[in-house]
Structure 1
Amino acid sequence: MSATSASENWSGLAALGSAERSVRASWTAPSFTQADVSANSAIGEWVGLGGMRSHQLIQVGTLTEPGPKGEAQTVAFFEQLPNAAVDTITIPTGATVMAAITPVGTDRWRLELTVAGSSSPAVDTVVTLSPSAASGVETSAEWITEAPTSQAGIMNLAPVSTTVMRHVEANGAPLAELPSGTLQAISMVDQQGVTIAAPTVSPSSDSVTVTTQYDATSGLGSGSAATAPFAGNGFGFQAPGFGGFGFGYGYSGYGSSGFGYGFGGTIVGA
């Protein structure tokens, strides 16, 4: 593996290149491992293109938050920056999902998320990018577990001890066949530099496992969009060599003043 990096709210694996055109993985909609769950907690799991070396990012995945009784509630979402993320349907706890982003023509990609046993996809949408944006998303592919961001900053991780992404693929090739020199592991660290989520990459089983220390996340950070140079409620993103930016998720559109969640990351080392 070529390098490791640290992020305030990402953990997982990235493949870096100049022609990352497709990405795929499957995982299970999680349950919580304890009953006492902070209301200001969540966990996102997604696959994406772009974002590591470019401001451009497209992604599809799931978001899990506590319900009225503290139970895990998972929804599917997709996002194409700079647009706000869109959530679609509720996914049963324990259901297996398969997420994929695949090219369907010049500068066009299909974002899909299917649920095992369901006859209809949870996400099935096509995005069209400008040529420059398309070049940006092709610079990396990601398999990520994330602590999303609210208006108040980075949220605590919900109590999900591990995320296992299986059938990990990029450009139609399984993880075992991807050039090891292009892969970068990403650990999540708090403001004190303590690792609170770390990946284990298993090429032989084409899987990436992120193990979290959710009981150590109360001081996770303050990446609210108020500190980002663009308007919006969501995340502040800082990749190596790039400035920050912020966008809303779900409940608020880009540049609005309403509450929103953000998906992205702050890479603090590479």
Structure 2
Amino acid sequence: MSDARRGTTRRTARRTLVASTALLTVLGSGVPAVAATAPALVQAPLVHHGGGVLRSTSGNWAGYAATGGMFTSVSASWVQPSVSCAGTNTWSSFWVGLDGDGSNTVEQIGTEADCSGGSPVYSSWYEMYPQYPSNFGNTVRPGDHFTASVTTNGSGSFTLTLSDTTQGWSRTVNKSLRSAALASAEVIAEAPSSSSGVLPLSDFGSVSFTSATVNGRSLGSSNASSITMASGGVTKATTSGLSGGTAFSVTWKHS
């Protein structure tokens, strides 16, 4: 990301969710599961700080995003956080992906930690917009160690892999998307959205990402910017600095 781009805005795609019959059986009515529309865009101004670190805010993302080049791979590991649930429904996602920051294509894979009727619900999914997101049927539990990656040959072929090394399962999806912009790479904690806007963020405490790489190199070498999730003057989640160029944490602050 070039330091000369002062005054630009961050545009982050968000998963727009609608209820699916399968997940409603588990969660009850009104709980989003899969997307049925194009990702909407959230715009927020970039904020520059000293020390050569570029920071920004987003209404629905926290983590790191690299832009300003062609991106063909991204990977990271994390421990599935446990969510604290009260009486309201809340949502959160943790993922790696290509595109979505300033582009209208999305290639992402990750996990979910939601609250429905006061109870936690954990799941996993992938998304290749304009195709609908798809949920995996494998069991996801808090404390599970996940490793995820999205790679492409640069000519429209993608491989998305998510592995639960705690429970010993792995899912690999091979997809094609010739219109993919390959304009960004991200490691993100997200507040998903419904058709009416960003949904309340689940209280996931803190999630730690490790071994984060972009284009086969450390995330820190990609000139990625740090993103704080904030909206309407309320900070929803904060992002730590990078440790060793490959590790950071995102901490929940507000729904």
**SS state of the match for residue 201, structure 1?**
coil
Quickly say closer, same or farther: Cα 1:98–1:37, change in 2 above 3 A: farther
1:7 aligns with 58
Q: CA deviation at 1:35?
A: 4.8
Aligned positions, number:
203
TM-score, reference length from structure 2: 0.73
- Report the RMSD for the aligned CA atoms in angstroms: 1.9
**SS state of the match for residue 53, structure 1?**
coil
1:196 equivalent to 2:247? Answer no
Quickly say closer, same or farther: Cα 1:27–1:42, change in 2 above 3 A: same
1:175 aligns with 219
1:38 aligns with 88
Asked if the contact 1:10–1:145 (Cα under 8 Å) also holds between the matched residues in 2, the reply is: yes
Deviation readout 1:193-214 (Å, 9 max, x if unpaired):
2222111122416212111113
1:79 aligns with 127
1:143 aligns with 187
Equivalence map 1:26-65=2 (5 Å): 26-32=77-83, 34-39=84-89, 41-65=90-114
Equivalence map 1:118-137=2 (5 Å): 118-121=167-170, 123-130=171-178, 133-134=179-180, 136=181
In the alignment, the residues of structure 2 paired with residue 55 and residue 2 of structure 1 have an alpha-carbon distance, to the nearest angstrom, of: 26
Unmatched segments (≥5 aa) in structure 1: 218-270
Q: CA deviation at 1:10?
A: 0.8
**SS state of the match for residue 204, structure 1?**
coil
Asked if the contact 2:211–2:247 (Cα under 8 Å) also holds between the matched residues in 1, the reply is: yes
Asked if the contact 1:141–1:170 (Cα under 8 Å) also holds between the matched residues in 2, the reply is: yes
Asked if the contact 2:65–2:184 (Cα under 8 Å) also holds between the matched residues in 1, the reply is: yes
- Percent same amino acid at aligned positions? 28
Counterpart among 167, 183, 205 of residue 161 in structure 1: 205
Counterpart among 227, 247, 252 of residue 207 in structure 1: 247
1:264 aligns with none
2:71 aligns with 20
1:260 aligns with none
1:110 aligns with 159
Name whichever structure is richer in strand by fraction.
Answer: 2
Q: CA deviation at 1:2?
A: 5.0
**SS state of the match for residue 94, structure 1?**
coil
In the alignment, the residues of structure 2 paired with residue 146 and residue 110 of structure 1 have an alpha-carbon distance, to the nearest angstrom, of: 22
**SS state of the match for residue 127, structure 1?**
strand
**SS state of the match for residue 71, structure 2?**
coil
TM-score, reference length from structure 1: 0.69
**4+ aligned runs moved over 3 Å, structure 1:** 117-120
Asked if the contact 1:37–1:158 (Cα under 8 Å) also holds between the matched residues in 2, the reply is: no
- Partner AA of 1:77 in structure 2: W
**SS state of the match for residue 244, structure 2?**
helix
